[in-house]
Amino acid sequence: MEIVILAVVIAVVVIGALGGLVIGSRKKKRQEPPEAAAPTAPTETPDITAPPTAPQAGEEPGGEARPSGGATVAGPEPAAPVITEPAPPAIEVPEPTAGRLVRLRARLSRSQNALGQGLLSLLSREHLDEDTWEEVEDILLTADVGVAPTQELVERLRSRVKVLGTRTPAELRQLLREELLTLVGTDLDRTVHTESGLDTPGIVLVVGVNGTGKTTTTGKLARVLVADGKSVVLGAADTFRAAAADQLQTWGERVGARTVRGPEAGDPASVAFDSVKQGTEAGADVVLIDTAGRLHTKTGLMDELGKVKRVVEKHAPLDEILLVLDATTGQNGLVQARVFAEVVDITGIVLTKLDGTAKGGIVVSVQRELGVPVKLVGLGEGPDDLAPFEPEAFVDALVGS
Ligand code: GDP
């Protein structure tokens, strides 16, 4: 009798498991990745001539192994097979923006050590003669602080050090901290403005030369906004660089933000127009538009960005035009900044790759050059390595605290 019951149980389990395999594989067929049909990525179409293969245990159609195994027979529990729904793409929860710069301070200190420590050690010399002051100047100029701000700083340091007389290391650090803070500016509005209208989203245009980290920054900025509780639609208007739209879309998918894109080499202005239209219809808080940044000719750039700006403004006013600059490019970055500033009204600067250069002084020189504040800084390739710029945390990283 027991043997009969056991045989029945095994039979039920085996039939059930086989049923599970069939259902599981049918389900998987139905849920082939949607991008296979995307018109903009014909190369991603799966090879339908390939012989069908039975799904492997724990394998999703995309080929990624997953820990769950609804269709497997093996295992100690001979229960009825569980048909698992394929998990939706995991939506990440980005790190909160407040305090990011504090987390990234070690990277900033590492890269900017030469500036802060160099200045401190010079200022602690017993006799501060002309040669020493020249060395102070050299350090500031090498770090891209710029000629006029360097002269101002040296002048102020000279008179304050004279008043101070004997200097303890702590006093010097405090003095340098105060003067660098004055130079960087503590009263500038560094908010990334995304105030949407009653029926329209906030609109942010991201501009800059290709290679500066513009698309990456747009993706990271989407995470910053999502972390701040906003819903975001991305516009892939960099139709010039082939991979830019895919890259942006991947960033968006990670935080559940839709990406509006057009055909490769298509009209950037039409993508920008569509993204604002779709963002408005979807009731998004912010539309973030990545633009192409080829510095072919100033007129070409002006035409292209001018058109993007005009079509966007048919829907709603632009809240921000953020210029992305690669901090490692030094003077070249300043030249780019000048060109873009002539073409559009930049409202904020994003300095990328500050983790890879000792030239943090560009924060000061670019603000002076354009008269607009640095609002965000990139300190690495990680998804949350874009931080709101906080002068205090920046200066503390330079001089140590
Ligand atoms: P685009 O052509 O301007 O859109 O450039 P991308 O966004 O594709 O970025 C170019 C490269 O710069 C990529 O490898 C990025 O990972 C890298 N990058 C961007 N921002 C940063 C940053 O803050 N730090 C570092 N180390 N790399 C960055």
Q: What domains does the chain contain, in order, with CATH numbers?
A: 202-346 (3.40.50.300)
Q: How many angstroms separate the alpha carbon of residue 281 from the centre of ligand 1?
A: 31
Compute the distance between CA of residue 35 and CA of residue 44 in angstroms, rounded to an integer: 7
Which residues does residue 207 pair with via DSSP β-bridges, in sequence order? 323
Per-residue model confidence as pLDDT tens digits over 334-381: 999 999 999 899 999 999 999 988 899 999 999 999 999 999 999 999
| Cα 214 to ligand 1 centre (Å) | 7
Half-sphere exposure of 322 (CA within 13 A, CB side): 29
Which of 101, 207, 216 best tests ligand 1's pocket when mutated (most atoms within 8 Å of CB)? 216
pLDDT digits (tens, 9 = 90+) for 265-315: 889 999 999 999 999 999 999 999 999 887 667 778 778 899 999 999 988
Can you give the length of the chain in residues?
A: 401
CA of 212 to the centre of ligand 1 (A): 6
Q: How many CB atoms lie within 10 A of CB 28?
A: 15
Q: Is residue 243 scored above 60 in pLDDT?
A: yes
Residue 329 CA to ligand 1 centre (angstroms): 13
Q: Which segments of 165-312 does DSSP mark as H helices, in order?
A: 169-184, 214-227, 244-254, 268-281, 298-312
- Using CA positions, which residue lies closest to atom 26 of ligand 1? 380
Amino acid at 125: R
Give 376's strand partners: 350, 388
Residue from 103, 205, 377, 381 whose mutation best tests the ligand 1 pocket (most atoms within 8 A of CB): 381
